């Protein structure tokens, strides 16, 4: 559903501010320190773009700009005062890699899987040996497919993408590469971007089997956004310090403007340029998409961009109504729309044993469609934990 487009000046202004920010020497970046990290006693110190600030068991946090990095008083955040320009775009350069070089480059670029939270790509790839037979899935979608990364890759990075396909075949000679970018008649609909669901629909495996293959590393899965950042690092020398934020708007009647708006933002940058440049009628925001549990934020308190958590920003004209749950009206919408036929209605009817836990991919569709506003998602999580 679309509602009338905002004046063009709105989007132009957004971009103008972004570009200006990139060109000039200014800016204060705030990056959360991952819980449990051991921070070396070297701060404050001068850092350069791509330098490691801290390393946890699974992820690395890199300096997103050149500047002076210090810790906030509570030691909960790195604060970087930018003191010099930094390159915003490197040229494409054709390169070949051995398996070890590939892993080292993933580590250097702090690449993470954006399909499975908190997994570094270096760790993920190290589970797959070059001597093993397995499938490699290249998916044209990301988890919530907030932006069309397939289109971005094909239009801006076609050479790099074909080189990456050849690279995967050379480092994993026994693996079967299944490139679903090449599939005809691609038409995304949620939950096609959820890895186990894509494997289920494309390879004909049951959801449980697909999950098992992913958990036991019998399948190497790369979604389009993850591939986008791999290509940036391998062939453009760009570490994972920037990520797209997709912005969508919801009017006061609850209608969603699906026209894509996207900004390639730098980790830690302040998001206050958004309320400053947006129509005042947008009052609240949420970093979640419509299939996720929404936590609303006042629009003037968006804070700073967090590369691991923020990929979507929905702006509302008014706070989504948090209404009480009504009684189930037996409309069967939840079961009808459930893509895996997991029988979510059983949870509402307190017949938990009839809910097919292992078939549920937590896509959020049943909760979104329930006309009685029943939080089926919460019941699913409870059932899965018990
Ligand atoms: S039960 Fe709900 S969350 Fe689970 S797969 Fe079905 S629609 Fe998605
Ligand atoms: S969608 Fe909601 S109201 Fe309809 S049957 Fe399912 S739980 Fe009941």
- Cross-strand bridge partners of residue 219: 135
Q: Relative to the CA of 367, which ligand 1 atom is closest?
A: 2
Q: Which ligand is nearest to the CA of 365?
A: 1
Judged on CB neighbours under 10 Å (0-12, 13-18, 19+), 203 is middle
Q: Regarding the domain delimited by 242-316, which CATH topology (the fold level of the hierarchy) does it fall under?
A: Ubiquitin-like (UB roll) (3.10.20)
- Please tell me the distance from the alpha carbon of residue 85 to that of residue 87, in angstroms, as a whole number: 7
Ligand 1: atom nearest CA of 363 is 8
Spell out the per-residue pLDDT of the chain, length 386, in tens. Answer: 333 343 333 333 333 334 444 444 457 899 999 888 888 889 999 999 999 999 987 789 999 999 999 999 999 999 999 886 666 678 899 999 999 999 999 999 999 999 998 899 999 999 998 888 999 999 999 998 889 999 999 999 999 999 999 999 999 999 999 999 998 777 899 999 999 999 999 999 999 999 999 999 999 999 999 999 999 999 999 999 999 999 988 888 878 887 768 899 999 999 998 888 778 888 899 999 888 988 889 999 999 999 999 999 999 988 766 667 899 999 999 999 999 999 999 999 999 999 999 999 999 999 999 999 999 999 999 999 98
- Measured CA to CA, the distance from residue 289 to residue 269 in angstroms comes to 21
Supply the residue whose CA is at minimum distance from atom 8 of ligand 1. Answer: 363
d(CA 10, CA 279): 8
Let me know: does 232 contact 238? Beta carbons within 8 Å: yes
Task: Enumerate the domain spans of the chain.
Answer: 27-81, 99-236, 242-316, 333-385
344 in ligand 1 pocket by Cβ < 6 Å? yes
Distance 339 CA to ligand 1 centre (A): 7
Residues with Cβ within 8 Å of residue 33, at least 6 apart in sequence: 39, 54, 61, 71, 75, 76, 77, 78
Pocket (CB within 6 angstroms of ligand 2): 328-334, 345, 348, 369-372, 374
Does residue 195 sit in helix, strand or coil? helix
The residue whose CA is least distant from atom 7 of ligand 1 is 338
Kindly report the protein residue whose alpha carbon is nearest to atom 3 of ligand 2: 328
For ligand 2, the distance from its centroid to the CA atom of residue 257, given in whole angstroms, is 27
Question: Rounded to an integer, what distance in angstroms lies between the CA atom of residue 373 and that of residue 294?
Answer: 13
Fold of 27-81: OB fold (Dihydrolipoamide Acetyltransferase, E2P) (2.40.50)
Query: Do the two domains 27-81 and 242-316 of this chain adopt the same fold?
Result: no
pTM of the predicted structure, to 2 decimals: 0.90
What's the gap in Å between 357 CA and the centre of ligand 2? 18
Distance, C-alpha 170 to centroid of its chain: 28
- Testing ligand 1's pocket by substitution, the residue of 293, 332, 365 carrying the most ligand atoms inside 8 A of its CB is 365
25 φψ region: left (φ > 0), alpha (ψ -120 to 50), beta (else):
beta
């Amino acid at each position: 559903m679309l509602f009338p487009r905002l004046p063009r000046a709105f989007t132009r202004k957004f971009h103008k501010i972004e570009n200006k920010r990139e060109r000039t020497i200014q800016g204060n970046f705030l990056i959360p320190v991952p819980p449990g990290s051991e921070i070396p006693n070297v701060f404050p110190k001068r850092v350069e773009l791509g330098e490691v600030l801290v390393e946890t068991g699974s992820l690395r946090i890199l300096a997103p700009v050149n500047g002076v990095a210090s810790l906030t008083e509570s030691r909960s955040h790195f604060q970087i005062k930018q003191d010099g320009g930094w390159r915003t775009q490197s040229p494409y350069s054709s390169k070949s890699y051995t398996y070890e070089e590939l892993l080292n480059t993933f580590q250097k670029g702090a690449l993470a899987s954006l399909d499975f939270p908190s997994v570094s790509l270096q760790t993920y790839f190290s589970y797959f040996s070059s001597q093993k037979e397995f499938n490699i899935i290249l998916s044209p979608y990301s988890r919530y497919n907030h932006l069309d990364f397939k289109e971005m890759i094909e239009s801006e990075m076609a050479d790099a993408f074909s080189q990456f396909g050849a690279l995967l075949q050379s480092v994993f000679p026994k693996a079967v590469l299944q490139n679903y970018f090449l599939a005809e008649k691609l038409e995304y609909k949620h939950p096609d971007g959820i890895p186990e669901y894509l494997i289920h629909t494309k390879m004909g495996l049951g959801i449980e089997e697909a999950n098992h293959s992913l958990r036991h590393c019998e399948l190497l899965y790369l979604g389009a956004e993850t591939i986008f950042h791999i290509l940036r690092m391998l062939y453009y020398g760009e570490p994972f310090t920037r990520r797209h934020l997709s912005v969508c708007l919801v009017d006061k009647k609850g209608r969603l403007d699906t026209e894509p708006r996207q900004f390639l933002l730098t980790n830690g940058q302040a998001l206050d340029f958004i309320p400053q440049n947006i129509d005042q009628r947008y009052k609240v925001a949420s970093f979640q998409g419509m299939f996720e549990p929404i936590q609303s934020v006042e629009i003037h308190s968006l804070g700073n961009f967090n590369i691991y958590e923020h990929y979507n920003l929905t702006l509302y004209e008014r706070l989504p109504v948090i209404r009480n749950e009504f009684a189930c009206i037996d409309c069967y919408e939840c079961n009808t729309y459930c893509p895996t036929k997991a029988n979510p209605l059983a949870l509402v009817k307190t017949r938990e044993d009839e809910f097919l836990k292992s078939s549920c991919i937590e896509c959020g569709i049943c909760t979104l469609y329930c006309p009685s506003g029943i939080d089926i998602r919460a019941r699913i999580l409870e059932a899965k934990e018990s």
